[in-house]
Structure 1
Amino acid sequence: MLNIQGINQYYNQSHILWDLDLELKEGSCSCLLGRNGVGKTTLLKCITGLLPVRDGQMSLKGQDITRMSTENRARSGIGYVPQGREIFPLLTVEENLKISLGARPDKARQIPPQIYELFPVLKEMKHRRGGDLSGGQQQQLAIGRALVLDPKLLILDEPTEGIQPNIVRDIGEVIRKLNSELGLTVLLVEQKLPFARRAAEHFFIMERGRVVANGEMTALDDELIQRYLTV
């Protein structure tokens, strides 16, 4: 599905990603782990085209996306839910969702009914402004907006940050349903290990801009946690 080979990325003179390799299999659900500042969000922004890479190559289902624009990556099947949600607070829920319709390759004009089935609260509040929603509801809106694209790869950056426990549980159930029942490939960054273990089947651990460990989630043992994740 997604293949990344030897990418390097810099902020001014600071070398952030170092010859990074990563591969996601189609239909997988993987969690990207690591301490703060190791380059996780930078990697996600490189995948989505929000940040350029100095060198290396990225491909999605065999198509080279290394120099592709963010908009064309969305059309190619990448949906992104950024850290902090970044919804439009003055637009209604429905208007927030409709913004993504313009990037659908099939030019659909209507919000897919599946979005409201996954997140009934969005249907109930579709005429309310995004800024009036709770943090958990805004997160559901941000995920729904990404799903409007009909993505093949869904990328979520810390989807449980600042969210009340009942909404965290609902989001976890939606991720599992999208992955197991609908075959959507998922990559998420997550700090909460219990959530990561429930949601994902595979893990990648980053340290100093590189992937230093990966495997089945069952192989994420105390030694790896102590070495790379404990603060």
Structure 2
Amino acid sequence: MLSVRHLNQFYGQSHILWDLSLNIREGSCACLMGRNGVGKTTLLKCLLGLLPVKTGEIQFNGLPIHKLATENRARSGIGYVPQGREIFSLLSVEENLQISLGARPDKAKGIPAHIYQMFPVLKEMRHRRGGDLSGGQQQQLAIARALILDPKLLILDEPTEGIQPNIVREIGEVIKRLNREHGLTVLLVEQKLPFARQVASDFYLMDKGRLVAEGPIADLNEGIIAEYLSV
């Protein structure tokens, strides 16, 4: 599904990603983990085309995408939910969702019915401004906006950050349903271990710009946690 090969990235003279390679298998829910500052967000920006790749290759469904513009990566089937949600606070919920319609491959004009079925609170509040929603509701809106694209891969950056526990559970259930019932491949960056264990099938662990461990989430043991995740 998604293959990264020998990726290197720099900020000025600082070497941020070091010859990083990983494979996200189709149908999986993979969690990218690591302490703050190890290069997780830089990797996501490279995957999405928000940062140019210095050296290395990114393939999506067997085709190289590392030279494509960000919008063309979205059209190829990659949806993205950024850290901090980045919704349009002055636009209504419905207008936030409509913005994504232009990037759909089928050029649909209306919001697909299953979006409101999955997030009924957004249907109830579709005429409210995005900035008037709670943090949890804004996160649901950000996920729904990415799903409008009908992606094959959904990337979420810290989806539980600043969200109340009951909404975290709801978001976890949505991710699991998308992954297990709808066959959507998911890559998420997540710091909360209980949430990662709840939703993920695989983990990829970064340290100092390198991939240092990977495997089924059940193999994420206390030794690995103590060495690379404990603060």
TM-score w.r.t. the length of structure 2 is 0.99
Counterpart of 1:85 in structure 2: which amino acid? R
Equivalent position SS for 1:32:
strand
Counterpart for residue 169 of structure 1: 169
Cα distance in 2, alignment partners of residues 114 and 14 from structure 1: 45
Counterpart of 2:35 in structure 1: which amino acid? R
Counterpart of 1:133 in structure 2: which amino acid? L
Give the superposition deviation at 1:10.
Answer: 1.1
Counterpart for residue 38 of structure 2: 38
TM-score w.r.t. the length of structure 1 is 0.99
Q: What number of residue pairs does the alignment pair up?
A: 231
Unpaired segments of 5 or more residues in structure 1?
A: none
Give the superposition deviation at 1:56.
Answer: 0.2
Compute the RMSD of aligned alpha carbons.
0.5
Give the superposition deviation at 1:63.
Answer: 1.0
Cα distance in 2, alignment partners of residues 103 and 14 from structure 1: 35
Cα distance in 2, alignment partners of residues 10 and 90 from structure 1: 36
Where in structure 2 are the equivalents of 1:85-164 lying within 5 Å? 85-164=85-164
Deviations 1:66-117 (A, max 9, x none): 1000000000000000000000000000000011111111111111111111
Give the superposition deviation at 1:198.
Answer: 0.3
Give the superposition deviation at 1:153.
Answer: 0.2
Cα distance in 1, alignment partners of residues 58 and 108 from structure 2: 28
Cα distance in 1, alignment partners of residues 75 and 164 from structure 2: 32
Identity in percent: 71
Give the superposition deviation at 1:49.
Answer: 0.8
Equivalent position SS for 1:74:
helix
Equivalent position SS for 1:27:
coil
Cα distance in 2, alignment partners of residues 112 and 70 from structure 1: 23
Cα distance in 1, alignment partners of residues 30 and 110 from structure 2: 30
Cα distance in 2, alignment partners of residues 42 and 113 from structure 1: 34
Equivalent position SS for 2:72:
helix
Counterpart of 2:221 in structure 1: which amino acid? D
Counterpart of 1:107 in structure 2: which amino acid? K
Cα distance in 2, alignment partners of residues 114 and 67 from structure 1: 33
Question: After the TM superposition, which segments of 4 or more aligned residues of structure 1 sit over 6 Å from their partners?
Answer: none
Equivalent position SS for 1:203:
strand
Cα distance in 2, alignment partners of residues 13 and 117 from structure 1: 48
Give the superposition deviation at 1:12.
Answer: 1.6
Equivalent position SS for 2:179:
helix
Unpaired segments of 5 or more residues in structure 2?
A: none
